[in-house]
Structure 1
Amino acid sequence: MRVLNRTVVYVFLFAVAVISIFPFLWMVISSTNLSVDVTQGRMLPGSHFIDNYKKLVNSINLLPALWNSLKISLSTTILALLVASLAGYAFEVYRSKAKDVVFNLLLVSMMIPFAALMVPLYQMFSGLSRSVPLIGINTMNAVVLPTFTTAFLIFFFRQSSKMFPRELLEAGRMDGLTELGLFFRIFMPTMKTTYSAAAIITFMSSWNNYLWPLIVLQTPEKRTIPLLISNLGSSYAPDFGVIMTAIVISTIPTALVFFLMQKQFVAGMVGSVK
């Protein structure tokens, strides 16, 4: 009976794994085939990946788009980790009724869909274009500033801060550290798994961000990789082999970030503190 139960569990897990990995596998296989093979549902690897890559490079500005996405994602991730961790740390370590009210308001803001904020945000940045061009429409800063931190990320750091040993803070104060010194020299190194998990979440979300960059970035040289892939699919006769090749290339950075940091990601998600 015990062997039967384990067999059922492993068969179920294998089926879930196959279902989960199938879209990615189909994407990789399709990137090696011609467009006609993709539309016919061919599931065997082909020999046209290099041809598809050459067509892709000749049809869009691939490298500038990847560079734009990388700049935006890295900037967003760095700012998000700093601001959200500071906020989550302060909400948990320096608790008060007023701070709890503010935190609850932050949680309520998670229920507001981004679509409801697009018009006010666009009007705000459009106005800033005249007075402060560096953060106006069609700039990288206009993409980063509204998205570099979220209520979820602040909530995530606050919940993780509950596991932080307060004895370390008291020891640091006895050694003469300032409050900022406690944060940067004790809290941040101790919570590195939480930072790793937050970095993966933020980087992947920023890399795949489509709607707000579509509205703000208005010239071809500023476009990110999701916008260019969308343009490939909106042509009269889309080349699905080229589109799949572009998607495979755009997936590589996020896949590398996740697989290189997956242990820290799992530890951070379960609130582990080392």
Structure 2
Amino acid sequence: MVFTVRTHEVVALFLVVRISLLPSALSTAPQVPCFFIFGDSIVDNGNNNRLKTTTKVNYPPYAELLGFKSAIPPFATAKGREIIKGVNYASGSAGIRNETGKQLGQRISMNEQLLHHNVTVSRIARLLGNTPSRKDHLCKCLYYMVVGSNDYINNYFKPEYYSTSKKYSTKEYAAVLTREYSQQLKKLYYLGARKVAVTGLSGIGCTPGELARGTNGSLCVDAINNAVVLFNDKLQALIKSLNNHLPDAQFIYVPSLELSEHIPVPG
């Protein structure tokens, strides 16, 4: 179920994005000029391959769903003019918090992914030649954010490695995470992003790794899923605030938990 549950995040994302942001969804041409991907293992397509980590993943080229004829390259190997159509920065076991996933080995946190995007923006500026062209190009791109699951299953609910559950209640931790995520999303905006799809967390308390720890008779680990609901509520409020306060911002919240509850799961 781990792949079924988390794949729902991708399915839900593209259903919502294609409806909400891409009016030419039936066109065979790319519906956005460029596509930048940030997140964790669900969208990592090669960035972890050269790292010392147990989480090396290479997922299919979801960009084809948006009309691109080839995959968006991972930052680790992206070069030349191919970066103009987009870059994938995602890293398995990465989180909003820098320390998240450290017990699994090397990973590229969201803060590091944004530093990598800053490098890409500078390269695009050199390729396109002037600031107006760069800004015009970047504001038309689609940005996809899928992160936060590891901040729970590979941080808060791993007290043998992390102290966050001792420092914060689940309500406090949701607030801490969304404050940090807010700063990251603003950084992305100030680097030129305008159309940003931000996924909420799915029912990660129903994944095999968490079920193996015991559910006290429930179908899933309720403590984890209840914490996810708190985070998603905070995230929705954050998205609304960003749209209200940042000129021309088009942040969209993608409710993967709510949508995944209505997608049949094979037995």
Greater RCO, 1 or 2 (C-alpha within 8 Å, sep 6+): 1
Structure having the higher helix fraction is 1
- Which is higher, the Rg of structure 1 or of structure 2? 1
TM over 0.5: no
TM-score, normalised with respect to structure 1: 0.26
TM-score, normalised with respect to structure 2: 0.26
